[in-house]
Structure 1
Amino acid sequence: MTLEATSPGASYGSTASGSSFYAAMRILPHDQREAMFQIYSFCRQVDDIADSDGPREERLAALQEWRNDIEALYQGNPPPRLKDYVASVKAFGLKREDFLAIVDGMEMDVPQDIRAPDMATLDLYCDRVASAVGRLSVRVFGLPEEDGIQLAYHLGRALQLTNILRDIDEDAGLGRLYLPREALLHAGITSSDPNRVIAERALPKVCLPLTQRAKAHFEKSDEIMNRNKRRAVRAPRIMSKYYHSILDLLIARGFNAPRQPVRVSKVTRIAILLRYAFI
């Protein structure tokens, strides 16, 4: 369950995707809303470091500073930029390891750009940049422990895979390729050069199995949300429906070049919000 992850990998600053996050979070009670915006702010700040064009050594050092600050927060000595997090950490039982996992995920893009990771590495990336965010979020939403962890697992991966499929061309422009190596080889694509891969006629053979994997995770997350209190899953439900709409648009458009960007219409966004925000 990522907080509006967009290209590259998991970026938290997009206006279009940010609008759906804000819509989903504004329906929450004050304390939950504040905690979610703190989580969002943290993700955005560490993501901005990972995606900056500064020297890689400086970015690695800046991410390590965030790790040090998280450690200090949980040792009872929060640095100034995390002082407001103390109340949320205590109120919702937010876990230190989930914050650190997010930093680790952002760092995966820093030593060198990710290009055609194997499936295990891609899954680890999704867990860190998306499902770890979900594990923090479900505690704020108030889901039961086991269902919350499972929802974070499935919905985080569904959203992140959707992002990857949506942002293939944009990521390639940044020198990154998140499509798994095994899928590329299965389609007969041996290159890991992003710009060469996105021009391959066999690219749909790589992408369509990933759409099915994402759909399976959406289905699992729906099962979990359906058995929990509606008010506890309003925000993740809105995020799920919005991203499922993106996935449906991608499938309908296909993955042959040239690929036009897909966008969920304003009418659809409003319909999702009206249907799920007030139940």
Structure 2
Amino acid sequence: MNWDDTRIFLALCREQTLRGAARALGVDQATVGRRLASLEHALGATLFLRTSRGYSLTAAGEVAMAAALNMESSAAELQRQILGMDDRMSGVVRVTTTDSFAIDVVIPAIARLHKAQPGIEVQLQASTQMLNLSKREADIAVRTLKPENPDLIVRRVARWSSAIFASADYVQARGVPEPGTAFAGHDLVLYQPYLDSGKEVTLGSEPITHGRIAMTCTSGLLVRRALINGLGIGEVPLPFGKAAGLVRLWPARECQLYDIWLVTHKDVRHTARVRVVIDIIAKAFATVSG
């Protein structure tokens, strides 16, 4: 199996349409179709059934996919091992984190690094998705969930508390909710994935049953911006709420503590440019008071 054809085959397995595979790989649909035809011809087998819903693997395609996944894993391992031997202070380092961490911590840190090491190009992806470091989808991840993969090097860079906040305008107009009233008479801004988790939803350990949801947001940054604009009461990391000039409600009540983890693959942690990006990001989090 040709590796270039195999990459397209795997993309089509995952996306199930020519358009989706082309978009994932940054090529046109005609290229995907041509490569698939070349691979099927080389193997002498039909790998997909073409249906109205998209491309579905045949029995031969399922066998081919197992082999293709092994090829992908071996290629990623080779890349990681070669990268781990690289001592140049130039080249690309891919970082993934949330939009809040990116804007408030990571981007300022990289700006300082760029002055000293302008040859390092950082490709920053702000996403709540867990990119796969073993497949080299990223070199460094900053997460609030600690991964269990033994091939990953995990370092705690901060421990922060969350807190309940609202804007000064909101507090002046609506007052501060009384603890124990489940936010009766107040508007709330909630993190949508928290609502979708199936867990009991609280803010600062207070049930929200009598509050009115004014907005739900898919990221912590959007929650914060909604609070700044006076939409209601919400829970955000303590350092971010203070930095935004929001009013902390119920300061005597303890909120959830959570850890922030910096993660990289063991094969790339000694790469010079990856190491220096790790260090500058870790220092930046260490200076933020949570």
TM-score between the two structures when normalised by the length of structure 1: 0.25
Of Structure 1 and Structure 2, the greater helix share is in 1
Of Structure 1 and Structure 2, the greater strand share is in 2
TM-score between the two structures when normalised by the length of structure 2: 0.24
Between Structure 1 and Structure 2, whose CA radius of gyration is higher? 2
